[in-house]
Homo-oligomer: A and B are copies of this chain.
């Protein structure tokens, strides 16, 4: 059945005309029917026999009987409502009783008849709803109904609209999903029918954005279909302003000039040590940037040996980026000059805008930039790096370890942690970008660029909010198909303080919405700063696994147990080792060692045992990833282990075998050097932890699954 949009339009317009922000129950029913959402059967009976026939048509179960009369407004008061009426005799008697009551209540009332309405019982009570998230817009929710679920908040969210597959994934996305599949002899619900209701509801709120909140609660989901027993629809009385939208081409155009500039102007460039305009100049020069650098400073002839200009207008050639190092109060007029010069991107290091309460100045800034066709990065940022252009447009220190990860942060403090961590671990970086107040350019612009950027193999983002969650999801869904996107969403615990008038609204605590929708977008979420940093470091190092079979090879039985725990915690599948492979492993390990998985080669073994088993693990095509547990012994010292693993992995790669390998090294302090050696040779290795290496592997798998690569 096609959607009857016109019907819904009429209902909503009528409510709007009356200035109402909620629909009545019959209006809600009409809206549901117009979109094919099943509601309880009902009909109007003029005679007792018609009522009996109707009740039988409605399945023969209990029905509610209600007087229908334009002259009786308070049905219950008039004795005009009976519920739970079951069986022909009872329906007949009920019909007569209601009519009698009505006559007793108001002798001359005009009676249209008695409404006979199916009462739903049985099946599984679920809630399906939609709400309007300040960042993501329309989101749909699904969960089990009832008090217990309300207490446990076992619900899952998706960005609307959802297709059938996504809707089906919601049924599996709650903790109590098993219940829908039928437990203890219970019947499985018709998952297709249930998912269909979710799809229809998500289409409805998408087609009619003025529907602010929508509850179908409860929906009775059974083996033979789902019926929404109760409907509640709340409306926005004022239209919501959409954030400005840019096309992909527009985003790429400005981002390409920002990241690959042929010329950079530094507004506020200075010769004075300790000034931000001095640090930026030094970093650009010392960082090795090969494009033109134009210092802008009305009081200097040259800055650090480069000819200075009083104003950007004076610069002879074309300029791609203007880096601002001047006080906040001068920024707006300088942005106008930047626009007049045709510079497309302004990098706004200065603080003193919204973050210090100066919201008006920031509005003015954004306005000026839009008018002059300038896109803004910041304000209130440390700047940005793009290592493959040797570009360090920042007041921090230069960074020169080129590599595949792009990192972004909303906070300057976190940006500094990114820099320090990257430097100490020698993480190969393509870009580090500060976003600060995100007055304009934000995560979706960056993602759109990094998706296309061949130098970037993984993106890691720290963020506290998304100004346009829907644009982010769009960009992320494209990007995560090609490379992992890691997100650390801060502010997890600042839960829904917003007022909500529906169950769905009340259930939509910010973090749960973010969690589900980031997953829907294919994003790997990091739940701690250190995880974000380690994922950023490790994901580009690990090749993409080709399947789910993970094998643990360990010298320490104790590490094997902890590594198994970690695999389970990270959703990894320990391969069920086939007999022939078990035999093959057993040939290398002592009789009391444990084959199976973990493969425990035991502690006293020489390097050759590690080597033979790891080689077997790499060469057997049924194994897709290896987790190594090393135990420091005199027989196989740390660096001997590291070098042999590096060699075996290198030989395998030469043969075209490239599987993700992670390692946990247990031992005295020499294992630190061994871990570094391994990391440098493509094995994600850590000392003193069994969890971290497996967490990085788990993150790689989460991405690969989301990108449908397995």
Contacts and interface: CB of A to CB of B under 8 A. Distances in A.
Contact of A416 (B144, B590, B667, B691): B667
A232 to B, nearest CB: 16
Contact of A357 (B355, B414, B592): B592
Interface stretch (A43-51, A90-98, A450-458, A554-562): A554-562
Interface centre among A148, A178, A410, A413 (most CB of B within 10 A): A413
A528 B634 CA distance: 27
A558 B490 contact: yes
B691 A528 contact: yes
Bin chain A's interface residue count: 35 or more
A82 interface: no
**Which secondary structure dominates chain A's binding surface?**
mixed
Contact of A411 (B356, B413, B558, B667): B558
Contacts of A558: 409-414, 462, 464, 490
Nearest to A556: B413
Interface stretch (A156-164, A420-428, A641-649): A420-428
A179 B147 contact: yes
B691 A420 contact: no
A187 interface: no
Contacts of A462: 558
A1 interface: no
A621 interface: no
A417 interface: yes
A172 to B, nearest CB: 13
A667 B492 CA distance: 23
Nearest to A492: B565
A397 B175 contact: no
Given A413-B556, A668-B420, A183 B692 contact: no
Contacts of A692: 530
Interface in A648-685: 666-672
Contacts of A492: 565, 568-569
A208 to B, nearest CB: 30
A603 B462 CA distance: 18
A665 to B, nearest CB: 8
Interface in A539-579: 554-559, 561-562, 564-566, 568-569
Contacts of A355: 557, 592
Given A186-B147, A419-B668, A413 B629 contact: yes
A687 interface: yes
Interface string A392-435: 00001100000000000111111011011101100000000000
Contacts of A356: 590, 592
Interface string A677-708: 00000000001111110000000000000000
A558 B382 CA distance: 13
B411 A528 contact: no
Contact of A423 (B357, B559, B669): B669
Contacts of A488: 562
Contacts of A152: 152, 154, 175-176
A668 B176 contact: no
Given A148-B179, A530-B692, 6 more contacts: A148-B149, A151-B183, A412-B556, A416-B631, A420-B669, A530-B691
13 contacts: A148-B176, A151-B178, A410-B558, A412-B558, A416-B632, A417-B687, A419-B667, A424-B672, A424-B688, A490-B558, A528-B562, A528-B566, A528-B689
Interface of A: 144, 147-152, 154, 175-176, 178-179, 183-184, 186, 274, 351, 355-358, 396-397, 409-414, 416-417, 419-421, 423-424, 462, 464, 488, 490-494, 528-530, 533, 554-559, 561-562, 564-566, 568-569, 590-592, 603-604, 629, 631-632, 634, 666-672, 687-692
